[in-house]
Amino acid sequence: MQFNWSTFAFQIVNFLILVFILHKVLYKPITNIIAKRRAAIEEKFKQARSEREAAEKLKSEYNLKLLEINTEENKILARARKEAEAEREGLIKEARRAAEHEQARAMESLDQEIKGRLADIQQHIAAAATRLAGKLLQDVTGSRFNEEIARHITEQIRGIKERDHAPPGKENKIDAVLFAAEAPQQATVEQFRSELEKVFGLGVSMTIHLEPSMISGFRLEIGELILDAGINRQLNDWNKDLLNSLMEHHA
């Protein structure tokens, strides 16, 4: 086959024309498309970089916020534990004070109860001793004892100053009451009446009143004036002294 230069030249010319046409028609748009695509890709990368940086910043802020929250939570827990401990200590102290107060109140109540029972026992002891002493005195006292008591009353009457005592009476008479455990001898009554008449210079109306609880002895009442030589009064005084002695011994 023989090479044809004309045909080859024609083909070269057609190829150049095609290249020119392609350059004019396709190359520039394709270049623009590629440039736009590259720009879009770069924009995407830039946007992704920005978003990544924003995400990193957000993550850092989140971690910082989380750290702050944990720190604040620890502070709140520590404060709550401290307040709970303080409240617990306060409750323990309050419970201890209440227990001590209740114990003191119970001890005081017990002490008062013991004192009350001791006082009752002491009173029973003193009363029993008084009754026993009264029984013994009742057994041993007799006419001789009553004579001594009558003499004592007589001396008391003689010691009365008329101006210091104005006993009530009627029709120039003095009303007197003689208390005795048993009926006194008439001589004793007359002796008392005689001594009163000497002191007041008036007649005396004497009333006898029997009072077995006196055990023995006499009590003479002229108005507000009382001359007491009864055994029961002596026993009552002795009972008080005995009770005071028992209480002082306990104290």
Q: Is the pLDDT of residue 95 over 80?
A: yes
Mean local confidence (pLDDT), 135-151: 60
- How high does pLDDT run on average in the chain? 74
Residue 209 phi/psi, 5-degree rounding, is -130, 115
| Proportion of the chain in helix, strand, coil states, percent, rounded to 5 | 75, 10, 10
Determine which of 8-12, 142-146, 192-196 has the lowest per-residue pLDDT on average: 142-146
Confidence of residue 249 (pLDDT cuts 50, 70, 90): low
DSSP code per residue over 128-173: HHHHHHHHHHHHH--HHHHHHHHHHHHHHHHT--GGG-----SSSE
Domain ranges within the chain, ordered by starting residue: 6-104, 143-231
The rounded distance, in Å, linking the Cα atoms of 204 and 176 is 7
Q: Which two tokens stand for residue 58?
A: 């957000």
Confidence of residue 155 (pLDDT cuts 50, 70, 90): confident
Residue with the bigger pLDDT between 140 and 198: it is 198
The predicted structure's pLDDT at residue 251: 55
The rounded distance, in Å, linking the Cα atoms of 83 and 236 is 68
Work out the burial of residue 159: count CB atoms within 10 Å of its CB; fewer than 13 is exposed, 13-18 middle, 19 or more buried.
Answer: exposed
Residue with the bigger pLDDT between 193 and 4: it is 193
Report in angstroms the alpha-carbon separations of 67 from 59, 60, 71, 167, 193.
12, 10, 6, 108, 116
The predicted structure's pLDDT at residue 7: 77
Per-residue pLDDT reduced to its tens digit, 171-227:
578 888 888 878 888 888 888 888 888 888 888 888 888 887 777 778 888 878 888
Q: Is the pLDDT of residue 104 over 80?
A: yes
One-letter amino acid identity for 125? I
Per-residue pLDDT reduced to its tens digit, 28-71:
777 777 778 888 888 887 887 888 888 788 888 878 888 888 88
* Claim: this prediction has a pTM higher than 0.75: no
CATH of domain 143-231: 3.30.1330
180 - beta bridge partners? 210, 218
The predicted structure's pLDDT at residue 36: 81
